[in-house]
A and B are shown apart, each in its own frame.
Chain A
Amino acid sequence: MSEFFSGRRETEALTDGEPVTDQLLDQVGEDAERDSQALADQVRRQEAEAAASEQLPVSGARPRSLLGDAWYELRHRPIFWVSSVVIVAVLAIAIFPNAFADVDETSSLTGGCNFDNYLQPPSSQFWFGTDQLGCDVYSLTIFGARPSLAVGLIASLLTVALGSAIGVIAGFYGGWIDAVLSRIVDIFFGLPLLLGGIVVLTAISFPSIWGVVFVLVVLGWVSAARLVRSTTIEAKGQDYVMAARALGASNSRIMWRHVLPNAIGPSIVVAVIGLGVYIGAEATFSYLGLGLQDPDFSWGTMISSAQEVFFQAPWTLLFPAGFLTLTILAFILMGDAVSEALDPKRQK
């Protein structure tokens, strides 16, 4: 047994009298070289593995309290504060319109618009001017905020709720459930939003904002579903999911309590950006005469009716359109800020 595992063994075997020959020393050197080669390979593999695990977005090398970190990040971003101010202002207008405009005195909204004030330019009495029915554009803009925001908020909440539920089920169970749900997602993904919306809204009439909400949710949930499905597949492979199983948690418990909270981050971003997009979509449908119907009105319906008199009275278009653009911009900027804050790879 002259060679056993190590150079040390070899020299030891020779301690009973025999001199250590050069040949054996060479052998030892070769062994050591081979060992160090193997060791280097192993180190490289481990490093590669470590690097791979660090690339996992949400819970990789430094999993932390997701929302706590995100909030810390957000507080240090000027864009977050700018968009917050705009969003808070618009929300305040939407929730308490009476604090900003007095319906009775400045103008009457329904049935009380005064034709004597037909298309007045902005003045100290009518800050944003008046429209072709003699209504005060300022008051209309203020009171139009609520339906616009309501559509955006409700639609993006429902979109994310529906999309997340379907996405987490598809991603978690995999197999044929995933195959079926993913094909359904693909089908809905193929439906164009505008055309689909026009068809549905023309065919069926809904009260108030619900038609637009219905269309936006039915055609919009797929992107959230796709997103949550992929983040679920990733979260499913994490150790804490295996640990939860080892502790006797059922599938549904693991799915809703352990996987979903860790998989929903990116779809929050989609929801915030979607809010702006849905407000714009409502305006589009209303502009086409398919959104809100009289006596309901929003920024969208205002823009729609302003088109007839735009060259005579551009203020009828500019003010509601300005509010609309500013609001959408604020939500999209907010979405950007949130997405950067939720992305651990960008954290310093």
Chain B
Amino acid sequence: MSRAVRKTAGAEGWTGPLLSVEDLNVQFKTRDGLVRAVNGVSFELNAGETIAILGESGSGKSVTAQAVMGILDMPPASIPKGSIRLKGRELVGLSEKDYREIRGTQIAMIFQDALSSLNPVISVGEQIAEMYRLHDGLSRSDAKTAAIDVMQRVRIPAAAQRFGDYPHQFSGGMRQRIMIAMMISQRPQLLIADEPTTALDVTVQAQVMELLAELQRDSDMGLILITHDLGVVADVAQRITVMYAGRTMEQGTVDEIYDQPANPYTIGLLESIPKLAETVERLPAIRGLPPNLLQVPPGCPFHPRCPLAQDVCRRDPRPPLETVSEGHVSSCWFAKEVHARGGLRV
């Protein structure tokens, strides 16, 4: 079977979602005990669509992404339950060899810190060209031409001259572009961006997000944006999943979640975004810290930090995902009430 055939295999006549994650559970065996990093997360992504996974550090958002990429170290990590399907093909339990053929060609991932994600001892051009040699079997000179092409596509000025430069010789924004160039070189159908703009300053953030959105439009690829920054999400994503302590707290369209959040945690995240139109003495923050995943509190994991917490929140079972409106679910005993209050946000 030639590579071209394999790339489109499964695509013929497939009308379902590009990616569907169902009841995903990921745990890590550590010396101190079992860490349940992801508990029953589900979401779907269609071609050409952008979804965002939001959450603080330790919420399990990056682990979810790594599980989809199949780059978790197993052991210590394991997926005891759940399914990840790419165009209907089950990825959980796929052999390393089969997975390797998917990675880079069908699914790719952009990392937060482009500087540490690029090999410091190999020139950036070489690193991009390697993708073409590895996956397409191009000759050295053809791969170089292709690499310069893709460097131009992500708008690296003087791409041909900068082919031989090393990662440290580029600015932060340019490095992230190089990372993006590597990742889109094989025209993947699914791109996961794990905090792609966190390490960049604000103006560069906007440029990089714009570039990602543009590349997505051109190629109809599905994009999963992983971030803790609600501000980045609003313009690009269609749907949002809010995660906390490895659980889905709320899920819905961007408009729904921004206008009528149905979970106190989401409200807390929304409130902590600085707004240009307002002057406040200090930015409201969610007090406290995310829980240690070895000792997640019983009941709703957010209850120790939640201003609405009642007795029912402090006891097991955990609140189930409740539908508050079509396609909008929230894991909170008071989801309906919070949702009904609407426009809580200032």
Enumerate chain A interface residues (CB-CB to B < 8 A): 1, 3-9, 12, 31-32, 34-35, 38-39, 41-42, 58-59, 62-68, 238-240, 242-250, 253, 257-258, 261-262
Contacts and interface: CB of A to CB of B under 8 A. Distances in A.
A65 B71 CA distance: 27
**B271, B284, B308: most-surrounded residue (chain A CB, <10 A):** B284
B183 A8 contact: no
A171 to B, nearest CB: 14
Contact of A65 (B117, B120, B344): B120
Given A4-B308, A245-B71, A248-B104, A38 B287 contact: yes
A229 to B, nearest CB: 18
Given A242-B117, A244-B119, 7 more contacts: A4-B267, A6-B271, A68-B166, A243-B111, A243-B179, A245-B69, A245-B103
A249 to B, nearest CB: 7
B31 interface: no
B308 A248 contact: no
Nearest to A6: B284
7 contacts: A42-B289, A65-B166, A67-B121, A240-B117, A245-B69, A246-B104, A249-B104
Given A35-B287, A242-B111, A253 B117 contact: no
Interface in B23-64: none
Nearest to A248: B104
A35 B285 contact: yes
Query: Which of B102, B120, B121, B130: most chain A CB closer than 10 A?
Result: B121
A239 B167 CA distance: 13
B121 A247 contact: no
Given A64-B120, A247-B183, A261-B122, A5 B286 contact: yes
Contacts of B344: 4
Looking at A4, A5, A34, A59, the one whose CB has the most chain B CB atoms below 10 A away is: A5
Contacts, number: 116
A139 B274 CA distance: 82
A242 B108 CA distance: 12
Nearest to A259: B119
Nearest to B284: A6
Contacts of A58: 120
Interface of B: 69, 71, 100-105, 108-109, 111, 113, 115-122, 130-131, 134-135, 166-168, 179, 182-183, 264, 267-268, 271, 280, 282, 284-289, 307-308, 344, 346
A8 B280 contact: yes
Contacts of B271: 5-6
A59 B116 contact: yes
A42 B346 CA distance: 26
A243 B280 contact: no
B116 A238 contact: yes
Contacts of B285: 35, 38-39
B31 to A, nearest CB: 16
A3 B307 contact: yes
A239 B101 contact: no
A41 B286 CA distance: 13
Contact of B111 (A5, A6, A8, A239): A239
Contacts of A64: 120, 166, 168
Contacts of B104: 246-249
Of B119, B167, B264, B346, the most chain A CB neighbours within 10 A belong to B119
Given A41-B289, A242-B71, A65 B121 contact: yes
Nearest to A249: B134
B193 to A, nearest CB: 12
A48 B36 CA distance: 25
A262 B119 contact: yes
A34 to B, nearest CB: 5
B2 to A, nearest CB: 17
A59 B121 CA distance: 10
A35 B109 CA distance: 35
A116 B202 CA distance: 88
B167 to A, nearest CB: 7
A258 B287 contact: no
B268 A262 contact: no
A239 B116 contact: yes
For A4, A66, A238, A253, which residue has the most chain B Cβ atoms within 10 angstroms? A4
Contact of B113 (A1, A66, A239, A244): A239
A63 B120 contact: yes
Contacts of A258: 119, 122
Q: Which of A3, A4, A240, A250 has the most CB of B within 10 A?
A: A240
A94 B346 CA distance: 82
Q: Which interface residue of A1, A35, A239, A243 has the most chain B CB atoms within 10 A? A: A243
A124 B239 CA distance: 93
Nearest to A265: B121
A31 to B, nearest CB: 7
A243 B289 contact: no
